Structure 1
Amino acid sequence: MSQDKTILVVGTYDTKDDELNYMSNCIRGQGGQVLSMDVSVLGDPTAPTDYSKHVVAEEGGSSIEAAIDSGDENTAMQIMAHGASMLALRLYREGKIDGVVVLGGTMGTDLALDVCQALPLGVPKYVVSTVSFSQLLPPERLAADIQMILWAGGLYGLNSVCKSSLSQAAGAVLGAARAVEKPKGDRPLIGMTSFGKTILRYMITLKPALEERGFEVAVFHATGMGGRAFESLAAEGSFACAMDFATQEVGNHIFGGLSAGADRLTNAGATATPQIVAPACYDLVDLVGWKPVPEQMGDKPAHDHNRLLKAVVLSASERRDVALAHAEKLSGAKGPTTFIMPKGGCNEWDRPGADLHDAAGLAAFVSAIEDAMPDNVDYVPLDCHINDAQFCETVLSIFDGWLENGVVKA
């Protein structure tokens, strides 16, 4: 097989030389090429790497001496993480690498998350870590398309157990680099947030209607990581228009649910991306279904969606807090922003007669939203449910107006 793709292999070569070289040999054995990057601080590899620790530190505007003199391992590793991220991005932009794999324990994983976040969506990025999938990893640190595998049994030295993980990662990153179909960018992209069709249905109407207008539509499942992916792309200015209709993660973050990070509902505004916002499922907090419900939420109405996910209903006062958070986040928007408020309800479970309906709670949210909505946001109240046709008709009317006057670029 021809040597068609080059993978950047990153790690602390002073302590994990054998493991990193094993992965590199696996990649070469499958016909790929390797560039090695050493992010050690104190020690040295057994043989020179393509990018030494000195080069890495200097790429970030610092030095190994500064890292050592800091006398603090956390500070030192952050110096290396900054340099490694900048160097990896430069190598990608120069066409020298097609993917990256990073190996580490907690220190190396901390660095790996920065490196992966620095690379654009579509660049294969793999992390082999002793803490893969751990709750140590906050959603806001994870790149939208990061891949992880547990470095099982590999804390110290090679063995048949850890070779299984290392060889899989080597094959996976090379295979991904060969197979990946990166975003083409041949049509302007609309980012939309939602949940499944049992609770929200607007994407069924809006996606084909927007595609007919010449746009590509990506719908993000707003259960923590989906919102994180949406926000990371919004921060890059990837969307021609953001249709952020499922903002439940704002309340999740406030009340300890499945958070997408503190910056949820801010990045489209920060990049002046035109955005239409609606508060689908604002009244619910999603919790891990297999964990006990926190004591402070134990007496609330709840819906067991499945064994993974449980939704708890917020009180009227809590909904007012969520409304204020929406208004505060949107107040910083630099671009055109419209907030649509369906006064008939914002998810299928809160219709009159449904299990989670709370008319007083809905009224409290609407009142708080109307009082707090900042002047930079156009407020559009609707006497309908978010799943009614009027909601989609309103969205398309606003969008078509923006398209006609050039706010949204075709």
Structure 2
Amino acid sequence: MTAPKTILVAGTYDTKDDELSYLAERIRAQGGAVLSMDVSVLGDPKTPTDLSKHQVAEAGGSTIQTAIDSNDENVAMQIMAKGAAALAARLHAQARIDGVIVLGGTMGTDLALDLCSALPLGVPKYVVSTVSFSAMLPPERLAADIQMILWAGGLYGLNSVCKSSLSQAAGAVLGAARAVEAPNSSKPLIGMTSFGKTILHYMVQLKPALEQRGYEVAVFHATGMGGRAFESLAAERAFACVMDFATQEVGNHLMGSGISAGADRLTNAGNSATPQMIAPACYDLVDLIGWQPLPDRLSDRPSHAHNRLLTSVVLTADERRQVARTMSAKLSTAKGPTAFLLPTQGCNEWDRPGAPLHDAEGLSAFCEELRTTCPANTQLHELPCHINDPDFSQTVLALFDTWVAQGIVPPGQP
């Protein structure tokens, strides 16, 4: 028989002992094992946990007394968050845990985001929170494969409503630990960004061509959270090469859209010296939350309601110049080989001549600004085609093959 999967159960046992103990009991009832971690500051659990609050604080280079003496719950919880993240990473490295579940309100959730981000992709990470899915959770703090469950009726004490959430969460994390197939490909991984095939086509040609060359290809949906996952993996040097062609999230963040991948979008591959090819798919649009009214300053613009969740609004020529400057500034810090592929005839299916969002003047303004600001460390390749034309994909593959031949990208594996 295989050993039972061990789940790290973390939370403030001084205030949520009953709830955390119930969660642990449900995991054990399904044949799992539990390692309990107390992240309290002032109080103590009813019975000792496997990992005490003192051990947590010390793992972060501090002490419980320091947290208490701060007389500030925010400072104190950040001390515990740092220790919880460090301790969780250590436990995983020692093969002592197979998954983690953290319980909390805003304080516990703040800590949970740090703890989950300290664990690699493929380790089941569940957060049961009273603020799951809330807009107060910044995309850049969410681990690439984090799972969240809304803790309904769970602010104070056990009841039948919150037990429903907790029991499902117990089954979810243990089931995930048993079923997970963690990333462990023998082939070099290519990270690519895109949108659906109605607006961008290149991945249809590129993915099978790269797979035939012996690479694995992961395509990320660049609508905020997809870009966040892409950036977090790029920061971990998970990719042998990056094909970051759907960079619209840079403009989204610049324009203050809620559909953001964070301020560090388009920087992590460069910071990790990962070879990167960049293109400006949908640079001309800002994505907005579709069920919210358009801001007054954008209400008279041409727009496309993609569905009830997402509406894309066209940027002005000046705004496109600003996007070009921002992209150039981000690429200027890259430490590895960087190429910018600029399709001068358009960058999404809606901006072709005759299409409803076509703006030749805006496209020209973006291209001219990019030519002017493209940094010296970035090779600019101007392509007299549209991003959805076969010529774009063929140019990408030709450049990729050159990088492989030069040893910039490792060779594929059969």
What band does the TM-score fall into relative to the shorter chain? over 0.9
SS of the aligned residue for 1:49 comes to coil
Cα shift at 1:71: 1.2
CA offsets 1:2-38 (integer angstroms, 9 cap, x no match): 6520000000000000000000000000000000000
1:261-340 alignment runs, 5 A limit: 261-340=262-341
Give the structure 2 partner of residue 97 of structure 1. 97
CA offsets 1:51-73 (integer angstroms, 9 cap, x no match): 00000000010110111111111
Cα shift at 1:185: 2.7
Give the structure 2 partner of residue 71 of structure 1. 71
Give, as a single letter, the amino acid of the residue that structure 2 aligns with 1:231: E
2:203 paired with 1:203 = yes
Cα shift at 1:135: 0.4
Q: Contact conserved, 1:98 with 1:177, CA < 8 A, in 2?
A: yes
CA distance in 2, matches of 1:180, 1:303: 38
Cα shift at 1:294: 1.0
2:188 paired with 1:188 = yes
SS of the aligned residue for 2:345 comes to coil
Give the structure 2 partner of residue 11 of structure 1. 11
What percent of counterpart residues are identical? 72
2:245 paired with 1:256 = no
2:409 paired with 1:408 = yes
Give the structure 1 partner of residue 139 of structure 2. 139
Q: Contact conserved, 1:80 with 1:111, CA < 8 A, in 2?
A: yes
1:143-222 alignment runs, 5 A limit: 143-222=143-222
Give, as a single letter, the amino acid of the residue that structure 1 aligns with 2:278: V
Give, as a single letter, the amino acid of the residue that structure 1 aligns with 2:391: Q
Q: Contact conserved, 1:3 with 1:32, CA < 8 A, in 2?
A: no
Give the structure 2 partner of residue 351 of structure 1. 352
SS of the aligned residue for 1:14 comes to helix
CA distance in 1, matches of 2:401, 2:160: 59
Aligned residue-pair number? 410
1:19-168 alignment runs, 5 A limit: 19-168=19-168
Q: Contact conserved, 1:271 with 1:335, CA < 8 A, in 2?
A: yes
CA distance in 1, matches of 2:299, 2:65: 53
1:319-398 alignment runs, 5 A limit: 319-398=320-399
CA offsets 1:98-127 (integer angstroms, 9 cap, x no match): 000000000000000111111101100000
Question: Unpaired runs of 5+ in structure 1?
Answer: none
SS of the aligned residue for 2:339 comes to strand
Q: Contact conserved, 1:340 with 1:381, CA < 8 A, in 2?
A: yes
Q: Contact conserved, 1:340 with 1:380, CA < 8 A, in 2?
A: yes
4+ residue runs over 6 A deviation: none
CA offsets 1:300-319 (integer angstroms, 9 cap, x no match): 11000001110000000000
TM-score, normalised to structure 2's length? 0.98
CA distance in 2, matches of 1:57, 1:157: 26
Give, as a single letter, the amino acid of the residue that structure 2 aligns with 1:26: R
CA distance in 2, matches of 1:367, 1:375: 16
Question: Unpaired runs of 5+ in structure 2?
Answer: none
SS of the aligned residue for 2:13 comes to coil
